[in-house]
Amino acid sequence: MTRRAEQNRPTKRAGALGQRLMRLREQGARPSREDVEAADMVEEAVIDCGWGRILFTQTFENSEAIIHKLRAEGLEQRDIAFYVRDPHVLLAAAPNELFLDPSHTYRLDLTTYRAKWRKLPGFFVRRLTSLADAEAVNRIYASRNMVQVNPEFFWSKRDSRALTYFVAEDETTGEVIATVTGVDHGRAFNDPERGSSLWCLAADPQSRHAGVGEAMVRRLAEHYQARGAAYMDLSVLHDNDRAIALYEKLGFRRIPIFAVKRKNPINEKLFSGPDPAAALNPYARIIVDEARRRGIGVEIIDTAAGFFRLSSGGRSVRCRESLSELTSAVAMSLCDDKAATRRIVERSGVKVPAQKEAGSEEEIKAFLAEHGSVVVKPARGEQGRGVAVDLDTLEDVTAAIAEAKKSSDRVILESYFDGTDLRLIVINFRLVAAAIRVPAQVVGDGKSTVESLIAKQSRRRAAATGGESTIPLDGETERCVKRHGYEMSSILPEGERLQVRKSANLHTGGTIHDVTSEVHPTLVDAAISAARAIDIPVVGIDLMVTAPHLADYVFIEANERPGLANHEPQPTAQRFVDLLFPLSMPASARLAQERKVEA
C-alpha cells in the first residue's frame, strides 16, 4: 500500500463511521461505544460560545457526566446539552435541575444544498473583524433579549477554527444589522459525521432591509459546504413560526434531536409554564420580565392596556407600562398639556421653540410668515397622532390643523427646528438612555411602487416590534412623499432611499438608534432640568438637536409614559425597577449608585 493510501484510509473509515452514526441518530437509535471510540471523537466535547457552552453529548459516556458538566454552568450563562440521545433518562437523573428545551431541531443537508446567491440591495455579509463589530453584535443580542457576550470574547475567537462569526453591514451607514454564529463540529471535536451547526441568528429590529435573515443562513451554509461539512443543524423554539417558515423554505427538515438545559433565571420562561406577561405589549413586558428575574411578584391587571401590579417585601406598586403610582397626577397632567409643559420647562432655563395656539387664518399666516416652516400638533395626545412637521404653506397648515383636531380640540403651532429627533430617558433624575429617532424610510427596488414599499416596510416594522410600529398610509405620508417629487404610485429607483414621514415617532414607523455614549452634556442637563421642573420620576424628554454630540437644541415635549423597550443595550427596565424596589438591586449596583450620590 502506498503512503498516500495509508494516509487516506483513516479518513475513509471515519467517513463511513460518520454516515453510520448519522443514520443511527436520525432513527433515534443510540450508537455503540465501539462506534464512538472508532470514530476517534474528542471525549466530553464542549465549546464555549461566550453566552454559554454547547455540550456535544454524543461524546459523553453517560448521563452522570453530562449532569456534572452542566452543574459547572457559569453565572449569567446559558449552557445547552445538544444531541441528547436519551433525554428521558437524563431528566430522570436530575429532575429538579434540568428541563427539556421546547425547541425543534432542523437539519440542512449540505451534500444536496444548492447555493442561491443573489445580491440583496443595501447590505452585505462579512466576517466579524473588530471590537466595534462585537459591540454591535451585543446590541443586537440585547434587542432580542438574548444573553450578551463580553466583546473581548468575540475578538479573542475571531481566528477560531471551530467558531465562525458573520455579520451583515448596512452599505450606507456602516452599521451592523444582523449576526450569526456557526460551529464546525469536525474542528470542535473531530466529528466523524462532518457536521456543523447554526446558532444565534439575530437581526436588528430597527433594520429597514428585507431578506437579512435568509442571507445570513445561506452565507453560513455555503461556508460550511465549502469546508466539506455534510449538514448544518439548528435549534429553534417550537412556536417561532416565522423562523421555522424561513428554515423550511431554505430546505431544512426537522429531525428527532433534543436539547436539555439547566433551570436558571435566564431559562425560566422556558420551563415555568404559561407566562402571564406573554400577551402584554413590549413596553409592559420588558418591565415585568425584569421584575420576575428579581423574584418580584407580578399581577396582570389588564393585559390590553398594559396595567400590572408589582409586589415585594410588603410594598406594592401599580403600573401602566413605565407610568407608576410614583408619578403624580399633577406631573401627568402637565405632560398631557403641551402648552403648559413648554411654559414650565422654559422657566427652568430649557430652550423652547416659538409656540402659538392655532387661531384665525390671519394669525396662522402671520406665524407662518415669521418662522417660514412650522409644526402642527394636538395640544393633548401621544404616539405622534395628529402631528405634522415642516409645513411651509397655508394650505398644508390648514389641512394639518383639521387632522390634529381629531385628537384634540386645541391645536398648537410651533416654529420648526431642522434637526434630529432625540429621545432621552430620565429615571430618578438621571439619564439612563439617549436615542435618535429616525423617520420611516423605504428603499427602492426598481420594480415596486412607493405605496407597496411602504406597506412592506410597515409589515416588517410591525413584526419587529410586536405590532407597535407601523407606517400610516394617510395624508401626512402622501404629503411627505410628494414633497420629495414622487407619487404613491411612482416606481422608486433601485437603491434610492425615500423618507416617507417627517415625524420620527416609533408608532408611525420610525426607528430608534442608541447614542447614549455620545450625547452632549448640555442636552443631558436640559433633559434633567425639564424632568425636575415637571417633578416627574420617569419621563421621556424629546429634543430636536443639530446632532447628539453638539449642544444646540430645542425642547419639544415630555412623555410621562416613555417606552423603555428598543433602547438596548441601555438598562432602562433595570433602572425603572430599581426606582420602584431599591432593595431588589444587586449589592454592587447599590454601592455604585451610593458612590455617585456621594461624589
User: Read out DSSP for 246-299?
Assistant: HHHHTT-EEES-EEEEE--GGGHHHHS-S-TTTTS-HHHHHHHHHHHHTT-EEE
Res 289: pLDDT: 87
Is the predicted pLDDT of residue 132 greater than 80, yes or no? yes
Is the separation of the CB atoms in 233 and 107 below 8 Å?
A: yes
Ramachandran area for residue 36 (φ above 0: left; ψ -120 to 50: alpha; else beta): alpha
Quickly tell me which residue has 420620576 as its cell.
537
- Over residues 501-517, the pLDDT tens digits come to 877 777 788 888 899 99
Q: Is the pLDDT of residue 13 over 50?
A: no
Q: What's the pLDDT score for residue 15?
A: 45
How confident is the model over 427-456, as a mean pLDDT?
90
> Between residues 395 and 178, which one has the greater pLDDT?
178
Q: Does 36 have pLDDT greater than 90?
A: no
Strand segments (E) across 290-387: 297-302, 307-312, 315-320, 323-324, 355-357, 374-378
* Predicted pLDDT of residue 100: 97
Whether 267 shows a pLDDT value over 50: the answer reads: yes
Q: For residue 196, what pLDDT is reported?
A: 97
Where along the chain do its domains lie? 11-273, 440-501
pLDDT (mean) for 226-238 = 96
The C-alpha atoms of residue 466 and residue 283 are separated, in whole angstroms, by 10
Question: What pTM was estimated for this model as a whole?
Answer: 0.70
The model's confidence at residue 11, banded by pLDDT at 50, 70 and 90, is: very low
Q: Answer with the residue of higher pLDDT: 232 or 378.
A: 232
How would residue 221 be classed by pLDDT, with cut points 50, 70 and 90? very high
Which segments within 333-396 are labelled E, that is strand?
A: 355-357, 374-378, 388-391
pLDDT tens-digit map of 549-570: 999 999 999 999 999 988 988 9
Average pLDDT over residues 178-191: 96
**Average of pLDDT values for 487-506?**
85
Say what the pLDDT of residue 35 is: 55
Average confidence score pLDDT of the chain: 87
pLDDT at 265: 83
Question: For residue 10, what pLDDT band results from cuts at 50, 70 and 90?
Answer: very low
Please tell me what DSSP assigns to residue 393. S
Instruction: Determine the CATH number of domain 11-273.
Output: 3.40.630.30
Cell output for 160: 477560531
Confidence of residue 382 (pLDDT cuts 50, 70, 90): low
Residue 256, pLDDT score? 94
The length of the chain is 599
